[in-house]
Amino acid sequence: MYFNSFENTLSQYNKTFKTKDLEKYLSYFDFEKMGFGPVTKNYEDTVNEIVKAIDNGCKTDKKYISRVNSFFKYFDDNNCKRIYEEILKKRE
């Protein structure tokens, strides 16, 4: 079982992604090289990373902030508006 713990920078809450079949999700996204937080592969390492995050005041490491900023184009609440506008463009 794999665990990927990362901070959701928009809501500032820690999230955990886990799957028994991580390899299925590695088509283009390499969690260790591109992920938004540390990747752990067992329970003990996961607990250690959570404790480390708490001890660090739950602040996101600069390398993960950089990854988030380069991955996401927008940091706002206008996703629905952009999608709606694109749909209207396709209908014209």
- DSSP conformation letters of 37-92: S-EE-SHHHHHHHHHHHHHTTTPPPHHHHHHHHHH-S--SS-HHHHHHHHHHHHH-
Quick one: pLDDT at residue 47?
94
pLDDT surpassing 90 at residue 20: no
Mean pLDDT of 51-77: 92
Whole-prediction pTM: 0.58
Task: Read off the pLDDT of residues 47-59 as tens digits, 9 standing for 90 and up.
Answer: 999 999 999 999 9
